[in-house]
Amino acid sequence: MYGLDHLGIAKYPKEARDSFQPGFALGAFSNTFGNAIPAVSKLLSMGECYAVRIHLAWRDNHKFSLKDLPGIIREAKRWVPIVKKYSNVKWYFSGACENNLSKADALLYAKKVLSVLPTVTYVQCGSKQITGDNIINEVHGVKAKPLKGRYIFSFDGNGCVDADVEKHKLIHKDSEIFFLWEPRFNGRWESKDTTQRPLRRGWPNGKLIESVICLTGNKGATNPPKNWIYKSHAENHGPKDTKAEHPVIICPIKTERIILKDLNGQVVDILPYYGPYDGGGYRYYSQKWGYDIAREPVRMWVNGVSYGFINPVFRDGKYHD
C-alpha cells in the first residue's frame, strides 16, 4: 500500500484532504506541528483512507526513555474515540518516531500503548527492531534496508522527488506501507531549510501533493545522456521563487530551448534557456508541473537532434540517493 506521510497535516488539513488519493495510507505526527486529530478526522470522514500511522511523539535529539512514557500514554488516550469511530480503518501507532530505545524499553512502549489502544498495530520506529503480536517495525530514508517480517518504509528525511523512487519501490516491495514524503510535508521548503519548527511556512499545496502521488505510477523506459540531469522538481527557495518545483534540464549544450515530444511526435512542452548551472552546464526550465507535461516517457530534442527519453514525473540522470 502506498501512503502519504503528511507529518505536518495539522498545518495544512485542507490541502491534504482535497488532494488525498483513495486507497492510500496516511501518516502524521500526533502533536509535533499542533493537534492533528481534527485534520485526520476530517480526512477520514471522506471514507477514502484505509490505513493510518500516527507518531505519538518526536524529539529532535531522538533520545527517549521510560520517563517519557506517561506523556506518550496521555497522547495515545486522546486517539481512543477516533480509533473507535473509524474502526474500519487499519490503525498503526508509533510511540516515538526515530527513537534510540533499547529493545527492552521499546517492547515496554509497545505494551503500554497497546494497553490503551488494543485494536491497533504498534510501530517501533527506531534504531532497534522488535517483534511480537500486533507489532511492526518502520525504517526511514534512502539508506534504509528492507527488514525481515512486517515493516513500514518512509522516505521521511529524504525528499522522494529527488530520489530514484523506482529503485526504492523494488528494494521495499515487501513493505506493508510505502510512504512518500517531501520536506514541505514538514513545512520546510527544502531538506536543507533550517528554519525552526514554529517559524516554518513551506507547507505543501495541492499541486505538490499531486506530483508526489504521481510517483506511484510507472516510470517506463528512459535513457537521458550520461552527463544530463533532469529534475522533475527544481529547488524551492521560498514563496517568491517562480521556478520552484517546476522541471529543469541541466545539460552541457547551450541553445535557445529544449523541446519535449510525446511518443506520437507531438510537442508537449518547450523549455527555454535560463542560464548556466553552478555545477557545470546550462539550465532549461519548464513553466508547467512535470505531471502536467506527461506521465509517460517523452523524447528530448535540441536543434532537431534527439537526446533520449525522460518521464516528466520522475527525476532522472542523477539522484540524491
How does pLDDT run across 150-183, given as a tens digit for each residue? 999 999 999 999 999 999 999 999 999 999 999 9
Whether 244 is covered by a domain: the verdict is yes
Q: Are residues 49 and 177 in the same domain?
A: yes
Q: Are residues 300 and 199 in the same domain?
A: no
How many Å apart are CA 237 and CA 160, to the nearest integer?
A: 18
Contact of 295 with 217, CB cutoff 8 Å:
yes
pLDDT at 236: 95
Structural domains counted in the chain: 2
Contact of 188 with 195, CB cutoff 8 Å:
yes
Whether 295 is covered by a domain: the verdict is yes
Low-confidence ranges of the chain (pLDDT < 50): none
Q: Are residues 185 and 246 in the same domain?
A: no
pLDDT at 321: 86
Helix (H) or strand (E) holding 18: helix 13-18
Q: Are residues 197 and 252 in the same domain?
A: no
How many Å apart are CA 90 and CA 227, to the nearest integer?
A: 45
Q: Are residues 11 and 120 in the same domain?
A: yes
Q: Are residues 85 and 143 in the same domain?
A: yes
Q: Are residues 18 and 81 in the same domain?
A: yes
Whether 99 is covered by a domain: the verdict is yes
* Closest C-alpha among 152, 143, 172, 57 to residue 106: 57
As a residue count, the chain comes to 321
pTM: 0.97
Gap between the terminal Cα atoms of the chain: 22
Last residue of a domain, one of 216, 244, 259: 216
Output helix, strand, coil percentages for the chain, rounded to the nearest 5: 25, 25, 50
Q: Are residues 180 and 272 in the same domain?
A: no
Q: Are residues 25 and 153 in the same domain?
A: yes
Last residue of a domain, one of 182, 216, 250: 216
pLDDT at 33: 98
pLDDT at 77: 98
How does pLDDT run across 237-248, given as a tens digit for each residue? 998 899 999 999
Write out the residue range of the structural domain in which residue 239 sits.
229-310
Last residue of a domain, one of 216, 250, 271: 216
Cell of 34: 499542533
Whether 236 is covered by a domain: the verdict is yes
Q: Are residues 199 and 293 in the same domain?
A: no
Which amino acid is it at 283? Answer: R
pLDDT at 304: 96
Whether 318 is covered by a domain: the verdict is no
